[in-house]
């Protein structure tokens, strides 16, 4: 396996400097919140797959739903003049049960990057239909992450995800994120920082010309950029600015949705109704590649209102509304509700956050701990606390390596350790994660 992995499987993100082992860990089995590698070493997965296996690796009702759907109707497209019953049932569940907040329709995709691509395209189309075809630009947050397709990469805040592909889509501009630990304003008060970031957004809109901007896209809590929860005033402020200038607000809920933040969506924490929502990841618990864009009522009305078909989408995806993915998603929604995983995510998330804050008291390597909204936490490592000098990748990898030996799989992203375990995780396993990070920090100091 190792030899074939090294020879035949290109893993661009598994650079030796970021790997727990070289070649990388080969996972062969997973049950509950635990994974086992090819050497039989078992660990608690503090990554939750890739923040998608919210219900754990052995969620029987979802597996059963997939098996039953494969038996009954393994595939039928929702492309031209056909649809399938599983996709139809899922659309009303998503609308009436998961996101009743003014969402009218869903457009199915095969994952998060697709969902972002579709939402940003729809934003331009919406303005065009309304005679505002000059609205073609996109705004997003520095530190935001929106996937790998060309539009998503163009709005990614982190330049590392953009520069190697440039020139990307012209007309994409990035504004400061409300990242309290590091920001261009040197502001540590979250509320004041939110106001400064909102002012910067408004300045950028005026500078670009509001009549040229199609949409603003943001994660309600920034994920891959290092788990950055904004102050509660930030997203409502963004909503107000978007309304003022006729700009669509796209919430990238790919990470936040389905209970991860302790609620069904991240936007709901902030009491905000976006115009579109991108969802994927936990929608099928990681068991099937699937995603969707939830489309608000005003948009649906503009696209479909007079029945002329002017809003029809020029092209579609073969796998849009795949019945097996839809069946998995339906089962996931039922299980998320039945097991009340949102509540567990909130309680265990608090335990994890508090445990990490305690670690910070003992370990100089920790510069910042972020969390407080469900099971999304990050530990930012520094080589000098006073100067906030980011720790190098080698240090973060050394922490993860030692934690892995101690029985916990961590995810390293730059100088951050990002924690996003399955939402069904129990108290003892959260304690295990905290203690293994402690072991890792001691080993790396």
Phi, psi of 159 (to 5 degrees): -60, -25
Phi, psi of 28 (to 5 degrees): -120, -20
Q: Is 147 in the site for ligand PMP (CB under 6 A)?
A: yes
- Burial class from Cβ neighbours inside 10 Å (0-12, 13-18, 19+) for residue 105 reads middle
Q: Which is nearer to ligand PMP, 118 or 396 (CB)?
A: 118
Min dist CB 157 to ligand PMP, Å, is 11
Question: For residue 211, how many other CB atoms are within 10 A of its CB?
Answer: 14
Min dist CB 224 to ligand PMP, Å, is 5
Q: Which is nearer to ligand PMP, 195 or 320 (CB)?
A: 320
Min dist CB 287 to ligand PMP, Å, is 13
Min dist CB 375 to ligand PMP, Å, is 15
Of the candidate residues 18, 202, 252, 368, the single one contacting ligand PMP (CB under 6 A):
252
Q: Which is nearer to ligand PMP, 220 or 440 (CB)?
A: 220
Q: Which is nearer to ligand PMP, 276 or 366 (CB)?
A: 276
- Count of chain residues binding ligand PMP (CB under 6 A): 14
Quick note: the x/- pattern for ligand PMP over 340-369, rule CB under 6 A, is ------------------------------
Spatial separation of the C-alpha atoms in residues 333 and 336, rounded to whole Å:
5
Tokens at residue 153, please? Answer: 């990469």
DSSP bridge pairs for 390: 382
Q: With contacts defined by CB under 6 A, name the span among 192-200, 229-237, 248-256, 410-418 that binds ligand PMP.
A: 248-256
42 and 431 Cβ atoms separated by less than 8 Å? no
Using DSSP, state whether 293 is helix, strand or coil.
strand
Unique residue bearing structure tokens 């102050």: 231
Tokens at residue 364, please? Answer: 């100089």
Enter the DSSP assignment of 427: H
> DSSP secondary structure string, 88-103?
HHHHHHIIIII-TTTE
Min dist CB 56 to ligand PMP, Å, is 19
Using DSSP, state whether 300 is helix, strand or coil.
helix
Which residue number is nearest to ligand PMP in terms of Cβ?
112
Using DSSP, state whether 412 is helix, strand or coil.
strand
Q: Which is nearer to ligand PMP, 111 or 438 (CB)?
A: 111
Spatial separation of the C-alpha atoms in residues 297 and 13, rounded to whole Å:
39
325 and 109 Cβ atoms separated by less than 8 Å? no
Q: With contacts defined by CB under 6 A, name the span among 32-40, 128-136, 252-260, 320-328 that binds ligand PMP.
A: 252-260
Using DSSP, state whether 108 is helix, strand or coil.
strand
Min dist CB 423 to ligand PMP, Å, is 16
Select from 31, 139, 423 the least CA-distant residue to 264. 423
Quick note: the x/- pattern for ligand PMP over 83-122, rule CB under 6 A, is ----------------------------xxx--x------
Q: With contacts defined by CB under 6 A, name the span among 87-95, 126-134, 194-202, 251-259 that binds ligand PMP.
A: 251-259
Longest dimension (CA), the chain: 66
Q: Which is nearer to ligand PMP, 91 or 420 (CB)?
A: 420
Min dist CB 110 to ligand PMP, Å, is 8
Quick note: the x/- pattern for ligand PMP over 404-433, rule CB under 6 A, is ------------------------------
Q: Which is nearer to ligand PMP, 35 or 116 (CB)?
A: 116
Min dist CB 116 to ligand PMP, Å, is 5
Select from 80, 153, 152, 88 the least CA-distant residue to 115. 152
Quick note: the x/- pattern for ligand PMP over 212-241, rule CB under 6 A, is -------x---xx-----------------
Min dist CB 114 to ligand PMP, Å, is 7
Of the candidate residues 53, 55, 194, 255, the single one contacting ligand PMP (CB under 6 A):
255
Q: Which is nearer to ligand PMP, 224 or 399 (CB)?
A: 224
**What is the b/e burial string over 124-139, where b = at least 16 CB atoms within 10 angstroms of the residue's CB?**
bbbbbbeeeeebbbbb
Min dist CB 115 to ligand PMP, Å, is 7
Residue ranges of E strands in 255-375: 276-279, 291-296, 366-370
Min dist CB 146 to ligand PMP, Å, is 5
35 and 408 Cβ atoms separated by less than 8 Å? no
190 and 231 Cβ atoms separated by less than 8 Å? yes
Contact residues toward ligand PMP (CB under 6 A) are 111-113, 116, 145-147, 219, 223-224, 252, 254-255, 280
């Amino acid at each position: 396996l190792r030899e074939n992995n090294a020879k035949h499987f290109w893993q661009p993100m598994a650079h030796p400097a970021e790997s727990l082992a070289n070649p990388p860990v080969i996972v062969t089995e997973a049950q509950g919140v635990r994974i086992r590698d090819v050497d039989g070493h078992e660990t608690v997965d503090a990554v939750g797959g890739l923040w998608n296996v919210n219900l754990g690796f052995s969620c029987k009702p979802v597996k059963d739903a997939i098996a039953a759907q494969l038996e009954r109707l393994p595939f039928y497209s929702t492309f031209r003049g056909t649809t399938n019953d599983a996709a139809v049932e899922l659309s009303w569940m998503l609308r009436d049960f998961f996101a009743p907040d003014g969402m009218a329709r869903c457009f199915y995709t095969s994952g998060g990057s697709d969902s972002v691509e579709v939402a940003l395209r729809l934003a331009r189309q919406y303005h065009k239909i309304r005679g505002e075809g000059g609205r073609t630009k996109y705004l997003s947050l520095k530190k935001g992450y929106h996937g790998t397709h060309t539009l998503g990469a163009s709005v990614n805040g982190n330049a590392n995800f953009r520069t190697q592909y440039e020139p990307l889509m012209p007309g994409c501009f990035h504004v400061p994120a409300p990242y309290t630990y590091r920001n261009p304003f040197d502001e540590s008060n979250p509320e004041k920082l939110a106001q400064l970031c909102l002012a910067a957004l408004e300045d950028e809109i005026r500078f670009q010309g509001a009549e040229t901007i199609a949409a603003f896209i943001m994660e309600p809590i920034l994920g891959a950029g290092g788990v950055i929860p904004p102050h509660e005033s930030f997203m409502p402020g963004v909503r107000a600015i978007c309304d003022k200038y006729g700009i669509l607000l796209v919430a990238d809920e790919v990470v936040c949705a389905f209970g991860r933040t302790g609620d069904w969506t991240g936007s709901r924490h902030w009491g905000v109704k976006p115009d579109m929502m991108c969802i994927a990841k936990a929608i099928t618990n990681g068991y099937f590649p699937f995603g969707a864009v939830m489309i608000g009522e005003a948009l649906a009305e503009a696209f479909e209102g007079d029945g002329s078909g002017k809003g029809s989408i020029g092209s579609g995806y073969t796998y849009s509304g795949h019945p097996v993915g839809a069946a998995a998603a339906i089962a996931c929604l039922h299980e998320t509700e039945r097991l009340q995983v949102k509540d567990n995510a909130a309680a265990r998330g608090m335990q994890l956050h508090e445990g990490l804050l305690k670690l910070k008291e003992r370990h100089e390597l920790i510069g910042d701990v972020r969390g407080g909204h469900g099971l999304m936490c990050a530990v930012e490592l520094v080589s000098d606390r006073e100067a906030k000098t980011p720790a190098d990748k080698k240090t973060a990898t050394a922490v993860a390596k030692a934690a892995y030996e101690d029985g916990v799989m961590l995810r390293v992203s730059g100088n951050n350790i990002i924690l996003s375990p399955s939402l069904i995780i129990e108290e003892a396993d959260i304690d295990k994660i905290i203690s293994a990070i402690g072991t890792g920090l001691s080993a790396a100091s």
